[in-house]
Structure formats: structure tokens, C-alpha cells
Chains A and B, each alone.
Chain A
Amino acid sequence: DGGITQSPKYLFRKEGQNVTLSCEQNLNHDAMYWYRQDPGQGLRLIYYSQIVNDFQKGDIAEGYSVSREKKESFPLTVTSAQKNPTAFYLCASSRGQGANEKLFFGSGTQLSVL
């Protein structure tokens, strides 16, 4: 079945450490996104990519980095510069980048700080 796979499901970060969240899709979608979810705040866009080898900052990109070397993969690195990384991270994709495109989501990664 086609879909989006996020790993790991749970991740713990030590102070000063960089961690990478994996996101893989087999939907052949061009656009991919990373969202951060905090209780009571909805979803906030971190980064998005409309095509391979290209990505743009979202609303809360500081302390995060991404790459898009393959169409199927869009990993997110939470760097030590992100001082409050504890959150639920969701990866999503869409067939295109139009305003009415449906977003397909992975099952998320819960990141916590040790």
C-alpha cells in the first residue's frame, strides 16, 4: 500500500545533540512537508519541498534543517540550536502544490528531551 513512513516513532535527544527524523513516501508525490504539533496549537510548518533538490523555510524553520536528495525522502534534522524541540513531528506529502491539494500524513515521531 502506498503511504508515508516516519521513523522512529519515539526519539529522545540529549542536550547539544542533533537528531534526524526520517520520512519516506512511495506515493510518487512531488511536494513534501514537515510540521510540528504542540498541544493546543495546531500544526506549524517547519520546511517544505516542492521538488527534488529544492526546499523552502516555513514559519518555524529556526533550529531545523532538511534535505531533499531523492523524491521519496525528506529527512528533518533537529539541531542543538532548537532549544525547545519536544513536540510531535509530522511529515506530509501532496501530489502537487496547488492550494486545494489533499495532504497525506505519516504517523508521526514524538521527540522528547532527556
Chain B
Amino acid sequence: AQSVTQLGSHVSVSEGALVLLRCNYSSSVPPYLFWYVQYPNQGLQLLLKYTSAATLVKGINGFEAEFKKSETSFHLTKPSAHMSDAAEYFCAVSGFLKTSYDKVIFGPGTSLSVIP
């Protein structure tokens, strides 16, 4: 079965420090890849998505992610963390199934804390 792993269920960074959230997927087929963010007691919103146009994808709020096929990874980064970045981050993949509906598979999430 296809799966998505996110290394580290909780990550803490200092304000102004680099944010690195890891995502790996299991597939031999290049999928579509997404990062979603969830603020407390809210739904998810899309940060960015990879659709094969470019391996480095820029998203909202200064986040970007790089697709590395050889490593089956899609890590999320931000050069300088802000207090408002504290949230839960989910990596998601789709494109495994060539059917009329292709299910989105979500990773377990990484909770990001930003220390003042």
C-alpha cells in the first residue's frame, strides 16, 4: 500500500531559525505532492503542491519544498521561522491510481512549535 511518512511528530525551532519538515513517500510512480497546514481548531489549507513542472516549489507564507525523486522525498522548508508558523503540517500524495478518483493519502502530520 502507498504511504506517506513524516519524520518527527513534533518539531521545535527558534524564531528566525530555519524550518525543515520532512516527508517521504513510498511509490515508484512520480506522484502529485502537497503540503497542507492546519492551525488550531481549523481545517487544512494548501501551502503548495508539486505537479512535475519544477522540482522546487514555492508556496504561501515563504514556504518552499523540493521534490527529489531519487530520495522519494518532498521536504518543506522556510528560511526564517515566525511565531505565526506554529501549526500542524501535513504532507499528502496522490496520483498512484489511474482511476476516475485518485485518493489523496495524508501523512500523520508534524506539529511545529516556534520558540520566541
Contacts and interface: CB of A to CB of B under 8 A. Distances in A.
Contact of A100 (B4, B51, B107): B51
Contacts of B49: 100, 102
Size class of the A contact interface (CB-based, 8 Å): 20 to 34
Contacts of A102: 34, 46, 49
A65 B44 CA distance: 23
Nearest to A10: B41
A40 B44 contact: no
Contacts of A56: 101
Contact of B42 (A31, A44, A97, A108): A108
B108 A100 contact: no
Interface in A46-84: 48, 50, 56, 58
A105 interface: yes
Contacts of B104: 45, 103
A50 B42 contact: no
Given A99-B32, A100-B32, A100-B51, A42 B100 contact: no
Nearest to A100: B32
A85 interface: no
Given A50-B100, A98-B102, A99-B94, A107 B42 contact: yes
Given A42-B109, A100-B32, A105 B101 contact: no
A97 B41 CA distance: 27
A106 B95 contact: no
Interface of B: 4, 9, 31-32, 34, 36, 41-46, 49, 51, 90, 94-95, 97, 100-104, 106-109
The 10 nearest A-B residue pairs measured at CB: A105-B43, A99-B102, A42-B106, A99-B95, A99-B94, A43-B106, A100-B32, A42-B108, A105-B44, A107-B43
24 contacts: A4-B43, A6-B43, A31-B101, A35-B106, A40-B108, A40-B109, A42-B90, A42-B106, A42-B107, A42-B109, A43-B44, A43-B90, A45-B104, A50-B100, A97-B101, A99-B95, A100-B49, A100-B94, A100-B95, A103-B44, A103-B46, A106-B43, A107-B42, A108-B43
